[in-house]
Structure 1
Amino acid sequence: MIRRESVTIYVHRDPVDFRQSINGLSIRVSDVMELDVFSGALFVFGNRSRNKIKILYWDKTGFCLWYKRLERNRFKWPRKGDSVLLLTDEQFDWLLRGLDIAKLTPHTESVFTDLF
């Protein structure tokens, strides 16, 4: 379970290969982001198409990996600036709810009746 009371949230700005799982993303946190993967922080990664995110964190007993895929929209990441962004808890909520953090505009809701 994600305990978000006073947790630090980092976003890796550049897209990552989503074939990477816990091991590959953990190495990216340590080697590329130069952060402590065991800190309890949330590390957010996006794919090249920006329709998927993965969130990696250490919960003191093991690694957890959370995955979200948008069906009709894209997440908004800054294209310029630092390679690691620090989000507030509120900004993290906006991101997960489909809001453009910069513009604060929601994605349109998707309503489906069948999977395929």
Structure 2
Amino acid sequence: MKMFVEPPAIYLHKQPVDFRKSINGLSVIVEEHMQLSSFSGALFVFCNRQRDKIKVLYWDQTGFCLWYKRLEKDKFKWPKKISGEVLTLSERQWHWLLEGLDIQKMTGHQPLQFTAVY
């Protein structure tokens, strides 16, 4: 089952949040702290203090959806050294995060721009 249909953006809130918050509380964080529109269709990713749970909030044109994942024996590799309160993730980085990889250490090939073949 595919839960997210090509979101326009994926935003990660770097600081842990109180996981008693649900849709309304998380949407307030998106609007006031992240200064983004919670109705954009983007994924907004939050983590708890222990980093073993994540919640993802998104708007799907008919209402808010809240996706939740709890790890049983491990922790998410949450980025710490990147500056700023909000981090924009690529879809590739999002999958790396879910798979347990450290997105700060993972980098792909750099795109190249050529104008002619020599």
TM-score range, shorter chain: 0.7 to 0.9
Runs of 4+ residues deviating >3 angstroms:
none
CA separation in 2, counterparts of 1:84 and 1:9? 10
Q: Which residue of 2 aligns with 1:112?
A: none
Structure 2 gap segments, 5+ residues each: 107-118
1:63 aligns with 2:54: no
How well do the aligned residues superpose, as a CA RMSD in angstroms? 1.2
Q: What is the correspondence of 1:1-116 to structure 2 with a 5 Å cutoff?
A: 1-4=3-6, 7-80=8-81, 81-104=83-106
- Distance (Å, rounded) in 2 between the aligned partners of 1:78 and 1:95: 9
**Based on CA coordinates, which of the two structures has the bigger radius of gyration?**
2
> 1:17-50: CA deviations, max 9, x gaps?
0000000000100001000100000000000000
Aligned sequence identity (%): 62
TM-score by length of 2: 0.82
Q: What CA distance in whole angstroms lies between the structure 2 residues aligned with 1:93 and 1:78?
A: 14
Query: Distance between the aligned counterparts of 1:94 and 1:7, measured in 2?
Result: 18
- C-alpha separation between the residues in 2 aligned to 1:47 and 1:97? 17
Inter-partner Cα distance in structure 1 for 2:103 and 2:88: 12
- Structure 2 counterpart of 1:3, which letter? V
Which deviates the most, 49-58 or 93-102? Answer: 93-102
**TM-score normalised to the size of structure 1?**
0.84
- The answer for unaligned runs of 5 or more in structure 1 is 105-116
**Aligned partners of 2:28 and 2:105: how far apart in 1?**
32
